[in-house]
Amino acid sequence: MRWLGFNRAYLRSLTRYGPSCPQQGAHYQPQSEDCLFLNVWAPMADKGRKRPVMVYIHGGAYSSGSVVDPLNDGAHLADRGDVVVVTVNHRLNAFGYLYLARRDPRFPDSGNCGQLDLICALQWVRDNIAGFGGDPDNVTVFGQSGGGAKIATLMAMPAADGLFHKAITMSGQQVTASGAINATKRTEAYLEKLGRGVDPVTASATELVAALGAIDPILGGGVYMGPVLDQRHLHRHPFWPDPAPQGNKIPMLLGNTVAETRAFFPPDHPKLQGLDWDNLAERAGSEMRADLLPEWVAAQFRDRYPTETPLQLFHRIVTAGRSWRGQVEEADARARAGVAATWVYQLDFEQAKHTDDIGLSFGTFVSPTPARAAMSRVLMDAFVRFARTGHPGWPAYTTPSRTTMVFDADSRVVNDPRQWERELFARVPFIQAGS
């Protein structure tokens, strides 16, 4: 195997990963503004043979994360699939998505710098990957959570056109981007937290990260930063009111986990302390990101699943309303538009939560068991088959059938496996975080 790092248009051999983008928390060290690195895993080059290329974009929304996480090690996937695997670090949060254009004309690109980093990396792949035995004409981008959202956004960015040929999004969607007005409001809130008179251009990385504690004026909670509809690099929403035409020629595989929100609400989360039938509606309703009467939603779920506990129903309600609907919006939009084929999967294995598909798709899953090893092989083989041929091995997603591969110990194809939940939440528009 070969492993190389990429930094600002030159190659150098490395014995360790390059820095991650500065961010809240100390999970990934070192951190530096000089974070534009990519990593390549490739079987030994074989003259005259070109392998499919799989480029991974990490999650963490647009604010955190890094491919230095051991789960993102590409060696096993490259070996098993006989493919070239590339992983990418890029600018995040204020470094990649602080929208200053309406305040200062010197920074017209500021709201989408993180996306432009990814485009730069894909241009590097196009120009250099053949040297590692990769086929620049067969590039699949895949990403989990925020990585999937970044891919959906790239499918609407003209500068990314032609740089990848297939897309896999894992628990990550971007139906709409942030509008310029809301993005400016978020910038104002962020700069207020940074401090009056402090220039974000000259502020230290420590100061810029500390200001991420600003309260989002649109959604509440931490200030959101993500792609901006700036009419410069992003001219329309990725999947509203229909799929961006640029992405219509790209085969797409979308997936989610059956119990996404178990990752966001672990057992010690305050929302789950003292959870009972009396407070289920209020606590789930405030998290489901759907403007439906919470008491009515809770009653509907309780009638539908009469043997389940308040905890089980909390996760069902919030997963359906908050984490899963974006995938339905994207898949249905592509099906209605009659674009390049779309495939959908759902990971049910061990009641999978958000992020569980990362280790399984890389073969780096934690706490190995024979069952997890077997599930990992199935998921990796499906991803590689899609990267190699453009078809993962089950029928494409169309409406009204909504054919879905359910990955489990006994994997199977199911039509519209969450029809009841889909129809319940279809009563109201989907609320995209960050719009």
Locate 331 and state its tokens.
Answer: 């898949």
Cis peptide before 267 (omega within 30 of 0): no
Nearest to 41 by CA among 81, 85, 105, 90: 85
Specify whether the CB–CB gap between 265 and 318 falls below 8 A: yes
The span from the CA of 171 to the CA of 298, in Å, is: 24
Asked whether the beta carbons of 97 and 61 are under 8 A apart, the reply is: no
Active site residue 188: no
Establish whether 76 is a catalytic residue: no
Measured CA to CA, the distance from residue 385 to residue 249 in angstroms comes to 18
Q: Are strands 134-144 and 10-13 parallel, antiparallel or unpaired?
A: unpaired
**Residue 182 φ then ψ, to 5°:** -65, -35
Rounded to whole angstroms, how far apart are CA atoms 272 and 314? Answer: 9
| Residue of 354, 376, 421, 435 with catalytic role | 354
Annotated catalytic residue, options 58, 66, 260, 376: 260
According to DSSP, the residues that pair with 333 across neighbouring strands are none
Residue 251 has φ and ψ, to the nearest 5°, of -60, 140
Alpha helix ranges (H) inside 176-236: 180-194, 205-210
Q: Are 405 and 102 in contact (CB under 8 A)?
A: no
Q: What single DSSP character describes residue 424?
A: H
Beta strand 38-42 with 2-7: parallel, antiparallel or unpaired?
antiparallel
Q: How many CB atoms lie within 10 A of CB 426?
A: 14
- Contact, 117 vs 31, CB < 8 A? no
Identify the CA nearest to 142 among candidates 306, 252, 26, 257. Answer: 252
Contacts (Cβ under 8 Å, ≥6 apart) of 388: 52, 81, 83, 138
Exactly one of 64, 145, 171, 376 is catalytic; name it: 145
260 catalytic, yes or no? yes
Residue pair 123/247 in contact (Cβ under 8 Å)? The answer is no
**Whether the Cβ atoms of residue 193 and residue 108 lie closer than 8 Å to each other:** no
Catalytic machinery residues: 145, 260, 354
